[in-house]
Amino acid sequence: MSDPETLAPRRGRRPGRPPAQSGAPRASARGDILKAASKEFAERGYDSASLRAIARRAGVDPALVHHYFADKAELFAETIAAPIRPDRLLEVVLAGPREATGASIVRYVLEQLGAPQARTRVVALLRAALGPGPAGRVFKEFLVREVFLKLARAAGGDDAELRADLAATQVVGLMVIRFVLRVEPLASAPVDDLVRRVGPVIQWHLTGYGIPEPAGRLPEQDAIDARSRPEDNSSRDE
């Protein structure tokens, strides 16, 4: 005769929820987690979504989420099929000299998105981010939280969140103009040229230093300055 304890319902589990995963995970578990994550990010945003809540929505043990995905950043990147991993960008940047942070970010983004397949995907993501709905907020939170805020905080200072937002605005704007709107001459400008021009701006926003002196002035700039200076009437008074 069976032990009465084996016939009694188990405690500590909500009705309707599957038991915690044991042994090999079921084949559909990864897909269930991705679907649940997509809904959780859309409803709560990147910052507020948690792996535990995603596991609960998917009906799996939280440990199974970590079995498939190292962290929230990797799960989100998989959810949106991101062509580049912003948190991997952080690793690349931190591996180089700190004074080249801005240049490293610009070069990595432009070179990674230069491949046709990656460019097609990022155009779709940016169009979604610019349109109505939660996509834009979630993508911005992901980019700021996993890359720019960490770099800004590492540089010190009290306004790290503002500096992170400003840096993210520059990078996202560059991607939109170059890959989505394809505005010339920026759309076909050499990567090295954009790194030289935009990199110091990103550096300045993140660290508060790095804007170099202009290497040279264009004739148009001299003409504009000449028109903007107050007219010197001293010779007329003589």
Q: What is the CATH number of the domain that holds 102?
A: 1.10.357.10
Segment 128-139 mean pLDDT:
69
Segment 182-204 mean pLDDT:
95
Structural domain including 163 reads 82-214
Asked if residue 71 belongs to a domain, the reply is yes
- Return d(Cα 209, Cα 203) in angstroms, integer: 7
Same domain for 145 and 203, yes or no, is yes
Q: Give me the pLDDT at residue 42, please.
A: 83
- Return d(Cα 120, Cα 135) in angstroms, integer: 17
CB 162 within 8 A of CB 143: no
Same domain for 68 and 115, yes or no, is no
Asked if residue 225 belongs to a domain, the reply is no
Domain boundary among 64, 79, 94: 79
Per-residue pLDDT reduced to its tens digit, 43-96? 888 888 999 999 999 999 999 999 999 899 889 888 877 777 776 788 888 888
Asked if residue 228 belongs to a domain, the reply is no
Asked if residue 49 belongs to a domain, the reply is yes
Asked if residue 124 belongs to a domain, the reply is yes
More confident residue, 29 or 133: 29
What total of structural domains would you count in the chain?
2
- Return d(Cα 72, Cα 60) in angstroms, integer: 16
Same domain for 117 and 64, yes or no, is no
Asked if residue 231 belongs to a domain, the reply is no
Give percent above pLDDT 90 in the chain: 36
Averaged pLDDT of the chain: 78
Q: What are phi and psi of 81, to 5 degrees?
A: 50, 50
Q: Give me the pLDDT at residue 14, please.
A: 42
Same domain for 101 and 203, yes or no, is yes
| pTM above threshold 0.85 | no
- Return d(Cα 28, Cα 35) in angstroms, integer: 11
Q: Give me the pLDDT at residue 210, please.
A: 65
List Cβ neighbours of 30 (8 Å cut-off, separation of 6 or more).
68
CATH number assigned to the domain comprising residue 37: 1.10.10.60
Same domain for 114 and 189, yes or no, is yes
Segment 163-176 mean pLDDT:
91
Same domain for 145 and 189, yes or no, is yes
Same domain for 95 and 154, yes or no, is yes
Same domain for 42 and 87, yes or no, is no
